[in-house]
Each structure stands twice: as C-alpha cells, then as structure tokens.
Chain A
C-alpha cells in the first residue's frame, strides 16, 4: 500500500511542478521568445535566405585570341549554359583581370590564338579558365559548364571528322559507354534542401537549451531554488518529481513547435519531404526528450538569465559542423566524432535528414534512434544529479521560504 501511496504523491507532485512550470514560462517574456518566437521566425528567415537554392548565370568574361567561328561557338555555348553568363569580351587578359578585380565577373575563359588551327591540324587544343575561388559554388558551376561544353563540342568535331557515318556509328565511335547521373533526394542539388533540414533540427534543440538556461539562470540569481524543495511537505528530496514535472512541461510545449518545424516548414518551402510523417514524429520523441534533458543539464552553468545567450548561441555553429551535414562524420578526427555522438542534434540531424529527405524508415535509422534514447537516459540521470547538487548547495547556503509565497 505504501508503494501506491508514494506513486500517488509522485504523480501529484509532478502534476504540480508541471503546472507551475507553465506559469513560469508564460510569465517570462524572454522565455516565450525562445520557446515560440525563435522556432517560429528562424526557419522562415533561413529558408528565405537559401530559397533560391542554386546559383545561376554567374558573370564571366571571354578573352578570345583565336577569333574564329569555332572559338565564338565555344563562347556562345558557354553563355547558353544555366551556370554562366558572359558579360563582356575582353581584348586581353589585363582587361579581363580588371573586370574580375572590380567584381564584374568571377571567371575568365581564355581561348589561345592557335585554338582552331590546332584542331584543324588534328592536334588537341587547350582552353584555359580562371575562376575566382571566394565562393566554391561559382567555381563548381563554371567547372561543370566548361566540361560539358567542351566535351559536347569535341564530340561534334569528332563526328565531323568521321564524315558520312550514320548516327548510330557516330554514337558508338564518340561515346561507346554512355553514362547517366542521378542526383538522389535533392535533384537540383539545392543548398536550401541540403542545409535547411539540419538547421531545423538545430533550431529545436538550441531554442530549448537557451530557454531552459534562461529559466534556470533566473532561479539562480533570484535565489528561488528553495521554493522547489521546501515549503511543500512531500517535495523535499525528490529530485525525480522535479525533473519529470519540468520535462513534461517543456515537452508538451514543444509538440506544436515540432509539428510546425519538422512538418509544416518543409512542406511550405517545398523541400524534399518523402518520409513517413508518423515515423518522423516518433523519431522526434527521443530527440526532444534528450534535448530537454541536455538543456536541463547544461543549465547548471547558467548563473544569470542573460548568460544563456553568451554560453549557448555560438555552440549552434559548432553543433552544426559536428553533426556531419557539411563535413561527413567519418572524415572527422575521432575525438570530434565522440563529442558529436553525445550531442542530441547530431543524431537528430542524421535521422531527420535520412527520413525526411531520403525517405528512410525508422528502421533504417535505428542507430540514430537508439543513440537518442541512450542520450535521453544519460542526460536524465545527469539532470537529476546536477539538480540534486544544486539543491544541496542551496540548502547549505540556508535559503528557505514557502513555495506559494511567490
């Protein structure tokens, strides 16, 4: 009977803390901003920044020293690719360089004077391209365009030299083994479709950490911690009730945010979204829980409401890189792989990208899913320990009071 009694008390306590935490959240404008405004606005801003997805018509210039029909054709075909746009024909390299220095163009195509002669003599002809490297996307676009254009033109030259052959013979002669390339899951190779899923997950985790940190900082600087352990008969010494009650509050608040961020935003901006939503939601459960307990554990470092910003904002960038979305995890030094493995967003991003973007089922991401449950367990224990520690310290300082007094 005693057992049932303590369960009943436990539930009552948890319910009490849960309700009380709602009040704490909604009375704190700063926390409301973190829990609602930030998850609402940031995804839209980020999606808008990267929404053009691809870079088209990057300006370039041509230095055509050959001035033959063939060299002009090469330049024209370069211009006709979606990646590049010729803004000027320059008389010499100096002029072209000046155009580049003034940021009027980001690439220079140089066609040497013996370009057509060499081809007519049956020799290989080389054209040079100089690309600005400040933005890798520009370089990549130029490289793909130039390779495709010269290969196509070269193929047609080969065809001419065959003379009188049938189309089939020509195909076999120029490209005996054709190839097709398929971009899976992000067909246009868009930057938003690649980056946004990771950012969305990170927004969920970071807004939780920041908000929970701010709440904890407020409690610490106003010496309100004792309100949680003294003044109510059955509350004392039961950290479990405190931690579960608070976590339930945050979790319930984030159900809506999660639906908005992981379901609505990809739909709104038409990002790849081919996974099963039910499975994504069930994947989100351990992700949210582990993020909440991660945030509650980290909140021990926050001594002041506002230091939450200073401590946690810059970690967003670190967490994004360590998740492996840009630089693949297997290529990182081992110690960063380990650090990444204890951050919920790493597994959250891995699982969400694969499910949402690549259409994997929850079984395919079982590794990430299991890791998130393990992290939930680990951070639940650490949360209990740091709360226990703080209460112990607080008691030693001798703060006391009544919970309802506030």
Chain B
C-alpha cells in the first residue's frame, strides 16, 4: 500500500493541475463566496419614487422610505414611463408611485392608492424591496388611522391594539439575520468541493489508463485493486479533507455562522462527504472506464448537484424523478446533516440515516472494483 501512496504523492506534486484543482480552486471559491456576500443581505437597493402629488405628505413618505437601510431612493420622477425605462435599463430594481391628490384624498378619507412595482427578474432584490415597500405602505395607512383615533379620543395605549389587533412574532430559527451568506455558503461550498473531488478522482484514475501506466500502478499494489485504489485515493482524501476542515473552520470559527450542535458531527460529515464522493467517482469510472466519459459524467453530476440537492429550490417541490435523484447525491445528505446538526442543533438521532447513506456511498464502489481492474489491465484509451 505504501508504494502506491508514495507513487500517487509524486504524481500529485509533479502536475500543477492537481494543485490547482485540489487547493487553489477550492480556496478561491470560498474566498470568492465569502467576500461576495459579506454583507449578508444586499443593502441600499436602488429605487425610484414617482411622486405625482408633490405635497408635504408625499415628501414625508419619500423621506421615510429613503431612511430604510434596504432602500436607496436614487431618482425622483414624474411619470410611470420614466420609471419603467430606468427599470428596463437596470438602473433601479423597483419603484413606488404616489398618485396625484394623495394628500388631499388621504385627509378627506377618499382612499388614495399607493402602487409599487418590483423587478422580479432579479429575485433577491425584488423580494427585499417588496417587503420594504409593503411595510412603508402599511405604516402610511397606520399613521392616518392613528390620527383619526387620537382625534376621536382613543387613548395612546390602546392605539396599537386598534391599529393591528393581531401582531406576529416571526422566529427565523438559526438564521435570525436572514443572511444569504449563511444560507448559500453552507450549501454551495460543500457542493463545489464535491464537484472538484469528483473531477480530480476521475481524472487521476482515468489518466492511468490514458498514459498506459495503469498496470504499473497495479503492480505497486501487487495487483490488488483494493490496495491500489486505496493507496491512490488516501493522499487525495487527506488533501480534500483538509480543505473541508478549512471550510468548517472559516464558516463556524472565523465567520461565526450558526453552529448550534457539536462541531465534531460536522467534521465527521465532512470526512464522510469526501470519502463518499471519491467512492462515487470510482463507481463512475468502473461503469465507464474512459477518461472523457468519466469526466463528462462527473461534471454533469457535480454541477447538477448544486441544483438538484435542493439548496435553493426545495426538493419536495421538485418533480418526482428529481426528488429520487437528489438522494443519490452525497452532498444532499451532507446538506441535511448540516441543517440538523449546525443550523438547528437537534439530536444526532434525527440525522442517523444521512450518516448511514454517506457510509453506504463510501463502500458502494467495492463490488464494482473487479470491473475497474479489468479496464485498468486493458488500459485502452478512448480520446
């Protein structure tokens, strides 16, 4: 086994592409994602106000809207068309219209209508704007009702109850800041790591066939495929696991992302993610022992994982075949373990099946190894 390990380590350092894909790319991805979303939520979303009233009330309203952290009132316009054009050219993500006669109607109780428009071709800014616009509109109504109530002699202490008889107290469990950084990095970074593990594992096995060195490699393991494959993959496991640990250290140590449970549960999950993904790649190579087909499959699985594992669009809402597919992706199980163990910090018992699934992935390649060995002995390269 040692001979295979040494041989593999020589290869890893002799070709820059390995260093690039095992260390530089994962490192770049995590620095990129962290710095991109370091604010957690996009602040100061550019918007426009179409003020057709030009009254004190409408100006007050504009000012209050501008005071929100999520909104930046970049333009004050006079017509809908101007606003629409700014929206289409991408200068603003939404606008709010205050109709003519706003103040007069509001004072006379003739219900002037505020309308707001969001550009939902951009999902995150649009949903944040919707929330801000809606809050401001409700508050505007509230202010008027409040005046009326005060005038009719309702006491200050009773006003809130009259304005809003049922209040809500929303608890966003584990991510009270509703931070997109917490939300996306915890799933996309392991997803990207899985992609790189799949590609590198397939590449390192396939290259032996391509370069006709497969038999030489088997000889270092006395023709035992199990020893050969273990010897080859262990150095890679160590490097990828080290990258995974770095991710965990940055996420939960440096950035203090929610870690409600025991960090060891996540470390175990990360190790299992690395090993089961390697095993997944070995399965791909056993079924299709060709470098190019193997890489195509690895790329397909790795990239589609980011969608099908349900990081952004929940798996239960997908069509049935995709739901089934999601559970044969190692990173799906890692993601569910993360939700249980880090985000929600619930007992390990509830994650048991996902650990089991990862372990099963890790050993699932063994029955296929004889098939891989045959291909390695033939070492036929298909360009």
Interface residue ranges, A against B (CB under 8 Å): 28-30, 33, 45-46, 48-52, 54-56, 58, 74, 101-102, 119, 122-140, 142-143, 146-147, 150-151, 153-154, 157-158, 161, 171-187, 189, 191, 193-195, 197, 218, 272, 303-307, 309-311, 313-314, 316-318, 321-322, 325-328, 330-333, 336, 350, 353-354, 357-360, 364-365, 367
Contact = CB atoms under 8 A, between A and B. Distances in A.
B93 A179 contact: no
B32 to A, nearest CB: 6
Contact of A313 (B137, B299, B318): B299
A321 B39 contact: no
Given A127-B166, A154-B166, A177-B106, A50 B295 contact: no
Contact of B299 (A143, A153, A309, A332): A309
B223 to A, nearest CB: 26
Given A133-B174, A177-B106, A314 B165 contact: no
Contacts, number: 313
Contact of B106 (A132, A153, A176, A193): A176
B66 to A, nearest CB: 17
Given A133-B183, A318-B29, A328-B122, A52 B85 contact: no
Consensus secondary structure, chain B interface: helix
Contacts of A153: 165-166
Interface string B174-189: 1100101001000010
A93 B383 CA distance: 61
Interface of B: 17, 20-21, 25, 28-29, 32-33, 35-39, 42-46, 85, 87-90, 93, 106, 109-127, 130, 133-134, 137-138, 140-141, 144-145, 148, 158, 160-162, 164-175, 178, 180, 183, 188, 192, 195-196, 199-200, 203, 206-207, 210, 291-292, 295-296, 298-299, 302-304, 306-308, 310, 312-314, 317-319, 322, 335, 339-340, 343-344, 346-347, 350, 383
B322 A48 contact: yes
A195 B126 CA distance: 13
A350 B137 CA distance: 30
Question: What 10 A-B pairs are tightest by C-beta distance, nearest first?
Answer: A186-B120, A179-B137, A360-B88, A331-B42, A176-B144, A134-B339, A133-B175, A124-B161, A309-B295, A154-B165
Contacts of A140: 127
A317 B29 contact: yes
B111 A175 contact: yes
A177 B140 contact: yes
Contact of B317 (A55, A326, A357): A55
B114 A177 contact: yes
Contacts of B37: 327
A360 B33 CA distance: 30
A226 B170 CA distance: 68
B307 A46 contact: yes
Nearest to B207: A306
A336 B319 CA distance: 36
Nearest to A360: B88
Most buried by A among B110, B119, B192: B119
A380 B145 CA distance: 64
Nearest to A106: B314
B46 A330 contact: yes
A146 B167 CA distance: 10
Contacts of A171: 111
Given A132-B344, A184-B117, A191 B170 contact: no
A108 to B, nearest CB: 9
